Amino acid sequence: MAMNTLVHSANCQVVGFIVTTTGWIFSMTCMGLAEWRVWYMENSSAPSPGLACVGMWKVCTYQSNSLQSRAIACHRYTYSDTYVPISIRIAQHLLLAANLLALLGKVLTVMGLQKLCLAHLQKKNTCHLFFASSVLSIIAGTFIFMAVIWNYHSVMNEEGICFPPSFHIPFRPNKQEMGSAVPMAVLAAILMLLSGLFTLSYQLAPNSQVYPQISEMRNSQFQSFVNPQCHVYRESKWTGHKCSDTAGEAATMAGCALGKLGKEFLALFKGSLRMTV
């Protein structure tokens, strides 16, 4: 029964690890994409109308109004760029923190699974590892959701960005909408949240015990060897002493046996005195 609980817990933790890894891959992928905001530019200083994709770490411009065309140029942000708005800076740090926390949660899950596979079943330590991993996954998913909501707020308010003139991108486009990186980020956040809740739901059983204590095994073997019927006697009819239900100590059983022998010897002695008289 305990081994079945161990295998079931390990399988559930592996499923949670797979879900977390999938969400982490989606989060890393969408963080590097430029399609967080899509700007449609009809009247700009560019040679021809086109569009621009504003991401968290770079901005790319296209000649035609289609993302299928090849990008003209992509410009990566640096920490020294003053034109990057505070909304993008906050989203950058949220996504970085989310990916680092998810990675740390994956490491803790691997450590917990290693303890289970090696049968070092210290319940508290193992459960603490899985609990910490699930909390980190939930926090990472929440951070990704916060970055998505911040980006959605910027698009709905049609916030502009003062790019350098060399980028040929206006301060505010004629139209802007959310790009394809947003659904991927939402999926990554959902997977991480589900993984955290899934890991919390399947902790080790509180009363599971794989390996009994050695002292308990020795006491059980000694009890069955010395007096296999000691569990039956709740009260000895010879001596009036009570034998323990568990019969965990040899002294109690020896006392019961000696009391019985003493009672018989006393009865024989009294009988011999009567015959003598």
Phi, psi of 74 (to 5 degrees): -125, 135
Helix (H, G, I), strand (E, B) or coil at 29: helix
Tell the residue number behind the tokens 């699930």, with chain if given. Answer: 134
Choose between 120 and 105: higher pLDDT.
105
CA distance 118 to 6: 11
In CATH terms, the fold of domain 2-201 is Butyryl-CoA Dehydrogenase, subunit A; domain 3 (1.20.140)
Give residue limits of the domains in the chain. Answer: 2-201, 215-276
User: For residue 19, which of 188, 147, 249 has the smallest C-alpha distance?
Assistant: 188
Can you point out the beta strands (E) in 168-237? 175-178
The model carries a pTM of: 0.67
* pLDDT tens digits for range 243-254: 334 434 444 454
User: Which DSSP letter does residue 69 get?
Assistant: S
pLDDT at 42 over 60: yes
Residues of the chain with pLDDT > 70, as a percent, come to: 61
